[in-house]
């Protein structure tokens, strides 16, 4: 699963709630993806102060590989604030994408 923004669908209350809900549901599910990729503005979910930080850490403890785009963190000046996942460069991200049969993008 690849997240590129902090909402699903529209950038409104419903879209933001849907993003939060899918992350929380993943943390409570028995069926989890092999890898979660946080790219572009979605990297903000993995930094200090994110309301989803504990949930994403819980997902990691379930064995899900969480990759966070270093380029996006750099551009947003958030690299030092990353608290969940593994810092990933574009080679890491492309490798993760190429290893799965289907990428689900939000």
Residue 101 predicted with pLDDT over 90: no
Q: Across the chain, what does the average pLDDT equal?
A: 96
Return the pLDDT at 106: 85
Which of 59, 47, 48 lies closest to 23, judged by CA? 59
In the chain, the number of structural domains is 1
- 17 inside domain: yes
- 58 inside domain: yes
- 54 inside domain: yes
Residue 74 predicted with pLDDT over 90: yes
pLDDT band at 41 (very low <50, low <70, confident <90, very high): very high
- 104 inside domain: no
pLDDT band at 102 (very low <50, low <70, confident <90, very high): confident
> Concatenated DSSP letters for the chain?
-EE-SSSSSSSSHHHHHHHHHHHHHHHH-SS--SEEEE-GGGGGGGBTT-TTHHHHHHHHHTT-EEEEEHHHHHHTT-GGGB-SSEEE-HHHHHHHHHTSS---B-
Please check whether residue 76 is in contact with residue 46, taking contact to mean a CB–CB distance below 8 angstroms.
no
User: Global pTM?
Assistant: 0.93
Which of 54, 42, 47 lies closest to 83, judged by CA? 47
pLDDT band at 9 (very low <50, low <70, confident <90, very high): very high
Identify the domain containing residue 49 by its residue range.
2-98
pLDDT band at 58 (very low <50, low <70, confident <90, very high): very high
> Concatenated DSSP letters for 56-73?
HHHHHHTT-EEEEEHHHH
- 103 inside domain: no
- 105 inside domain: no
Q: What is the mean pLDDT of residues 102-106?
A: 85
Write the CATH number for 26.
Answer: 3.40.1260.10
């Amino acid at each position: 699963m690849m997240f590129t923004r902090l909402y699903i669908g529209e950038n409104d209350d419903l879209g933001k709630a849907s993003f939060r809900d899918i992350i929380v549901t993943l943390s409570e599910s028995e069926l989890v993806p092999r890898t979660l990729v946080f790219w572009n503005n979605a990297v903000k979910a993995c930094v200090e102060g994110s309301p989803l930080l504990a949930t994403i850490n819980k997902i990691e403890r379930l064995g899900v590989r969480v990759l966070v785009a270093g380029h996006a963190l750099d551009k947003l000046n958030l690299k030092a604030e990353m608290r969940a996942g593994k810092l990933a460069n574009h080679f890491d991200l492309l490798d993760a994408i190429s290893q799965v049969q289907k990428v689900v993008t939000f």
